[in-house]
Chain A
Amino acid sequence: MNNIDALKELLYKMADDQLILGHRNSEWNGLGPILEEDIAFSSMAQDKMGQSEHLYNLLNQLGEADADTVAFTRNAPQFHCSHLVELPIGGYDFSLIRHFLFDFAEYLRFEALKTSAYQPLAQVAKKFFGEVKYHTMHANTWVYQLGHGNEESNSKMQESLNFAWNYALGMFEPGPAEEMLINENIFIGEEALQAKWLEVVIPLLEKSNLVIPEQSSWAPIYGGRIGNHTAHLQPLLSEMTEVYSIDPSADW
């Protein structure tokens, strides 16, 4: 694996995470718990979708197919997304906790990538960082509010946090060629990113009256980055490509 392949691997996992979670969050359209949240989730889903397209365009510059082809013609084993983003939207409590855990990771990822030695990525990271900052503010406001709201909301949020935690740790599945990216100052690596993420999210969750799962129970759920996925991903992709696949050569 040369450094271009290592870079592609990094871009694919980021783009696929954004695409699949953007898709999932768009499922809230018209069904949000209150109108304001319906609208907010849609905005953030649109940002994610737009960011994934941007990252696929960077891949296109590195010789991969165009964004639509890459997003709308691959099957599950060819995707590099983490299991966390594939899971169904569940209740609003789960979707909100996932949004919190994922977007803080993205925020820190883009912050680190702002100084990446790979200039095209550094440039988009600066732009995305500005967008994701608002997503983290949204996530934290709501997690705080519902963590403190009443017994019912606290217990729902706690259950969802317990369920999501090991999936969230799975976001930081180390890549096979990460050393190369670290040595060339392209990316800080998943281990360093996870450490930063834990430093940020643990105090915020505790302030929100939520309990972090016992460290002895931490067991990151890996596999997504190498094409092993949950049973939820292929049905999502089949639905997503239903119209496109009627005629992939047609202009839609």
Chain B
Amino acid sequence: MYGNAYIDPNEKFSSEEETPELLAAFQARIDAGEKIEPQDWMPAMYRKQLIRMIEQHAHSEIIGSLPEGTWITRAPGFRRKLALMAKVQDEVGHAQLLYSAAETLGKSREDMMNDLITGKSKYSNIFNYPALTWADSAVIAWLVDAGAIVNQLANSKGSYGPYCRALERICYEESFHLKYGHDNVVHLATGTKKQREMVQAAMTRWWTPLMHFFGPSDKASVHSDTLMRWKVKMASNDAMRQQFMDMYIPKIWDLGLTLPDPLLKKNTETGLWDYTEPDWEEFKRVINGDGPCNAERLAVRRMAEENGKWVARAINNEEAEHVRPFA
């Protein structure tokens, strides 16, 4: 989809080349709503930030397939099993799409994968928490995917063409995941006593990671201004968090489920949600590697990479005379 647009990753982008005229022309294109394409000129920082962002997004998809993936083999009944298989498959497909989008900016999939398994690149913090029960997988499918849609829908209006196009398709698929997750949570929340207890416990467990999901308040973020002007970042963390709360807290409460924050209420004066700040020290600890599942997630990914290397070696063997297209 995004082939034929590779850029030499060793290409130098010095600040002298980024003349005020070039930067102004670049900004004018963005302000006019044009999309930046892989072959277009772009500031080095724009490229760097986009690679970082798309790459992290791709890693989040592939690591994100793990907590839910463990429930495929235990899903209760054909309907749930088939839906969950298709959902997790979508997530891996999103990773493939996003690695391709990031490659158009000059970093190879292999390099990105290496940076993931060596811990150099990050992925969404939320996947460092465990899916302890079937109900956790339901809450993830509903609310983590809902959060992702809020974030990705905003970013799909951004300035980099390949990323926007990938996000449009991803959001379309994620909206089915959200429906699946919601249906799943509704069945549990309106089911037997045991089912209701399972889903309440899961909701309580996932609330803090969900509040962390959009990141710390933007006031603390230094790069935000430039990135927003370049339409790399489209909405503030706080705005996205408020939007998510507005859309989903009423739905959670409607199901008779509670959330573990006594301060949670819509402020009629500000129109915003009041809430207890989640523990941002925990967020930092987890993002820096000390979460409940960081080691396990990377170990699994590393194992998959190691075990699959012989396949890559065989199909990339330049001396093989019998290599033929897969389709």
Contact = CB atoms under 8 A, between A and B. Distances in A.
Interface of A: 23, 26-27, 29-39, 42-43, 45-46, 49-50, 53, 67-68, 71-72, 91-92, 141-142, 144-146, 148-150, 152-153, 156, 209, 236, 239-240, 242-244, 246-247, 250-252
A133 B127 CA distance: 37
Contacts of B322: 144-145, 148, 209
Contact of A251 (B66, B69, B187): B187
Nearest to A144: B322
Given A29-B72, A45-B85, A150-B320, A247 B66 contact: no
Q: Chain B's interface: helix, strand, loop or mixed, by majority?
A: helix
B54 to A, nearest CB: 15
Nearest to B327: A141
Interface string B75-96: 1111011100110110011011
Contact of A153 (B71, B89, B99, B310): B310
Contact of B85 (A46, A150, A252): A46
Given A29-B89, A30-B88, A46 B311 contact: no
6 contacts: A35-B92, A36-B326, A39-B96, A42-B92, A49-B78, A243-B74
A31 B320 CA distance: 26
Contacts of A153: 310-311, 313-314
B63 to A, nearest CB: 9
B258 to A, nearest CB: 22
B89 to A, nearest CB: 4
Contacts, number: 149
A92 B320 contact: no
A225 B300 CA distance: 35
Contacts of A34: 308, 311-312
Contacts of B75: 243
Contact of A42 (B66, B81, B88, B191): B88
Given A30-B65, A46-B85, A71 B311 contact: no
A43 B228 CA distance: 39
Given A23-B73, A30-B65, A39 B93 contact: yes
Interface residues of B, number: 51
Interface of B: 62, 65-66, 69, 71-78, 80-82, 85-86, 88-89, 92-93, 95-96, 99, 134, 187, 191-192, 194-195, 300, 303-304, 307-315, 317, 319-324, 326-327
Given A239-B73, A239-B74, A29 B85 contact: yes
B192 A152 contact: no
A29 B320 contact: no
- Interface pairs A-B: 8 shortest CB-CB: A149-B314, A33-B308, A153-B314, A148-B322, A42-B89, A244-B76, A33-B311, A252-B76
B85 A92 contact: no
B96 A36 contact: yes
Given A30-B69, A33-B312, A37-B311, A46 B86 contact: yes
Contacts of A242: 74
B88 A29 contact: yes
Contacts of B80: 252
Contacts of A38: 89, 92
Contacts of B72: 26-27, 29
Contact of A250 (B192, B320, B323, B327): B192
